[in-house]
Structure 1
Amino acid sequence: MKPRDRINRLKKLYLIMVAVGFLALGILAFTEKYISPGPFKTLLYGALTLFLAGNILLHIGIRCPKCKAILGYVIIFSAGKAYECPRCRIKFDEEMP
């Protein structure tokens, strides 16, 4: 398995968490007046937790498979495709032993 496969799988999972949390917050914003306060607060806190956890994991949860350096900013905010770890220089597109 290539390191890029693992990184992309984690990135996709964390982006789905952020998207579902954001979608739930959007739906709750429009249905606030139709839901009673008890269930609304529960759903709101759940959606906020999912959204925030996804964002935090997106930034610090993606790590290099070899040296465990945090790659969140490198992978998400790079202008181009990241080809190697900035710390240990492992190539992401080569097979790992």
Structure 2
Amino acid sequence: MTPSGCRIDIWLWRARFLRTRSLATAFVDRGAVRLTRHGRQARLDRAARPVQVGDTLVFALDGRLVELRVAALGTRRGGSAEARGLYVPVDPVMPGG
């Protein structure tokens, strides 16, 4: 991909949401990831779809809904601290809060 984008399966693997890239590919191919960019939301259907810094991702993993903003693309699959630097969790807005 370009310096401004990265394949979604590679990004999910680098961010340590899935243990292998093949699991990440299958996860995306199932349509399990929604991406919001510039206010437009789309369900990703192919692992080759690019993710960019600033995109918001929503997916269910291990029985919980994950919503996050892509903060960096990364260059490798590093340790957990490095992986946490690739995203910022999006806090759900609580009614009346």
Q: Which structure is higher in strand share?
A: 2
TM-score (norm 2): 0.24
TM-score (norm 1): 0.24
Computing the radius of gyration from Cα coordinates, the structure with the larger value is 1
* Higher relative contact order, chain-length normalized (CA < 8 Å, sep 6+): 1
